[in-house]
Structure 1
Amino acid sequence: MSDAITIRYQAAQTIARDAGALGLKYFNSFDTLTIESKSHQDFVSEADKNVETLVRAAISAAFPDDAIVGEEDAPAPGTSGFTWVIDPIDGTTNFIHGIPQWCVAIAIVQNGQTVAGIIHDPVHDECNHAMLGNGAFCNDKPIRTLQGRPITNGSLGVGFSGRTRASGSVITLIDLIVQAGGVFWRNGSGALSLAYVAQGKLLGYVEEHMNAWDCIAGQLMIAEAGGKVEPQNADDMIANGGRVVVATAELFDQVQAMADQAYKA
């Protein structure tokens, strides 16, 4: 990897930790937050906005020519060829109700490819990170996806949001998982769920539609941790979002087949 990527990868870890520290201060007084509803079951708090402001300011100060795309504010153009894709708090519904399942997600994209990804869980002090071709880590410890596990021996993450159909496809997917002898799991933070796949806590994760700031950091992390990821162009994901299917190397084909069946209608 180039020095330009390495420098950004290292900086992203520091920025994610600083953002997480600010987010944690808000979380510890979650019952006093100012909250707005963006749409059905989609919330934004003052914490989301202020943490994203911190992240954008840090990126702009260190890398003024880089583009920035985030969940809460308008995209900032750049000329360097690098794009930072950020979610200041993934799992806002959990966050505003005091549930300790949320994270800061940062990805760095170059030429349609995610080259670095950070998913920082401040509550548990777990900074998951990966750089293309360099492996995946939680803090300083290398992480790996599960190996040699059938679907009957572990949990499969299932995501669902208001962006997708209200019923039908996700119900079909859950039914297929149960019929196969598996267990479905949902925590309300897609990015954190993807980190759990990379850490070897979940067998995989499936969601009909995710935005880039929720998933591309975790997709890189899983690939670097030995798992398999449905291939996508990062620039296209930034523009449109898309389906996410990830799993251990052994289970990927089975999980992808269930997603195909569930989402075909």
Structure 2
Amino acid sequence: MDVEIDVDVEALRALARSLACEAGALVRDGRPERVEVAATKSSDVDPVTDMDRAAEALLRRRLAEERPDDAILGEEGDDVPGTSGLTWVLDPIDGTVNYVYGVASYAVSVAVVAGPPDPGRWTALAGCVHSVVDGRTWTAARGGGAERDGRPLRVRRPDALSRSLVGTGFGYAPERRARQAEVLVDVLPRVRDIRRIGSAAIDLCLLAEGALDLYYERGLNPWDLAAGALVAAEAGAWVGGLHGRGPGAAMTVAGATPVVTELVRLLEDADADRPEDGARG
């Protein structure tokens, strides 16, 4: 969905980068030797830490100072209404399980969108994904391209699905995991290999720079994909869902055409977006 709104997307990109890097420094410098789980969300294996909450609080404070008229949609706090038509979509730690265990793939994701807070209907304007451990920083602005640390990005264009490295992820509800395993049985024999990194935001950015050929995942929340999907799209990827729908909780698929079309067809044939009894999202 395209929304006409008069904004400086490069200024929004710069602000998203500044916010993500500042929150990333907090997450990196404040990580204790042993991380304690403060609570759980969708299941008892879906953790929230004190740092998730602290990093999002920092982002919300900065946005209240810099963009007080904008709305906020965050993973860990209450939604904040706005009057400008813009919404900031925040994931303070994408890859919290990796953060808890000290696995070096977790990121701060900050994006700003126009329109409804729904990935299938909004227009993403700018975003940043900051990899906390190694400092890699991906940014994008609508119509302005995608970059990693100032270097322009373009997706890899694989010549066949069978020679494609595919990223994916798994949900937390047991019913969803069981169904995702069934789909994986259909996908794995038809591709080069599968990677499960544990951060959807980083997956989408790796796709943008050619370190993955394709990506799919069921169950993503708006904050999981807001910035990363824009980075991928601005790097030349097609980003969508199944059966003509946009990206979102039912399914998010990304990659270069025409091979991504084969993956979409494979996932549709596998009924990969079929609801599971007892699973959320």
Q: TM-score under structure 1 normalisation?
A: 0.90
* Cα pair distance change 1:45/1:30, threshold 3 Å: farther
What secondary structure does 1:15 align onto? Answer: helix
Q: Which residue of 2 aligns with 1:173?
A: 183
Structure with higher strand content:
1
Query: Could you say which residue in structure 1 is the equivalent of 2:277?
Result: none
Tell me if the contact between 1:95 and 1:102 (Cα under 8 Å) persists in the aligned partners. yes
User: CA distance change for structure 1 residues 264 and 189 in 2, over 3 Å: closer, same or farther?
Assistant: closer
User: Aligned residue pairs: how many?
Assistant: 259
Counterpart contact for 1:211–1:242, Cα < 8 Å: no
Q: Which residue of 2 aligns with 1:193?
A: 203
Stretch deviating more after TM superposition (199-208 or 169-178) = 169-178
Cα distance, 1:109 vs. partner? Answer: 0.6
Asked if the contact 1:30/1:95 (under 8 Å) is kept, the reply is no
- Correspondence 1:261 to 2:264: no
| 1:75 counterpart SS class | coil
Tell me the distance in 2 between the aligned counterparts of 1:224 and 1:176: 30
The 3 A distance-change label for structure 1 pair 249 and 89 is same
Query: Residue 127 of structure 1 aligns with which residue?
Result: 137
What is the percentage of aligned positions where both structures have the same residue? Answer: 30
Q: Is the 8 A contact 2:87 2:112 kept in 1?
A: yes
Could you say which residue in structure 2 is the equivalent of 1:16? 20
RMSD in angstroms over aligned alpha carbons? 2.0
Deviation at 1:159, TM superposition (A): 1.5
Partner-residue secondary structure (3-state), 1:116: strand
User: Which segment is superposed worse, 154-163 or 50-59?
Assistant: 154-163
**Superposed counterparts of 1:69-108, under 5 Å:** 69-108=73-112
Shift of 1:140: 0.4
What CA deviation, in whole Å up to 9, does each residue of 1:177-210 have, x standing for no partner?
2221431111111111111111111111111221
Counterparts of 1:67 and 1:163, CA distance in 2: 30
TM-score of the aligned structures, taking structure 2 as reference length: 0.85
Read off the aligned partner of 1:115 and give its amino acid letter. L
- Secondary structure (helix, strand or coil) at the match of 2:253 reads strand
How many Å apart are 1:157 and its aligned residue? 0.9
How far 1:14 sits from its partner (Å)?
0.5
The structural deviation recorded for 1:34 is: 5.1
Q: In 2, Cα distance between the equivalents of 1:54 and 1:190?
A: 22
The answer on whether the counterparts of 1:164 and 1:209 sit within 8 Å (CA) in structure 2 is no
For 1:179 and 1:135, the matched residues in 2 are separated by 34
What is the correspondence of 1:172-251 to structure 2 with a 5 Å cutoff? 172-230=182-240, 241-251=249-259
- For the 8 Å contact 2:35–2:101, the answer to whether it is kept is no
Unaligned runs of 5+ in 2: 116-121, 275-281
CA gap of 1:215–1:30, structure 2 versus 1, over 3 A, is farther
- Structure 2 residue matching 1:209: 3-state secondary structure: coil
2-structure distance, mates of 1:185, 1:165: 21
Give 1:35's aligned residue: 38
Range with greater deviation from structure 2 (31-40 or 87-96): 31-40
Contact 2:138 2:205 in 1 (8 A): yes
Query: Matched residues in 2 for 1:164 and 1:258: separation?
Result: 23
Q: Hey, what's the Cα distance between the residues in 2 that align with 1:181 and 1:47?
A: 37
Q: What stretches of structure 1 of length at least 5 have no aligned partner? A: none
1:65-120 deviation digits (Å, cap 9, x = unpaired): 00001000000000011100000000000101111110001111112211112111
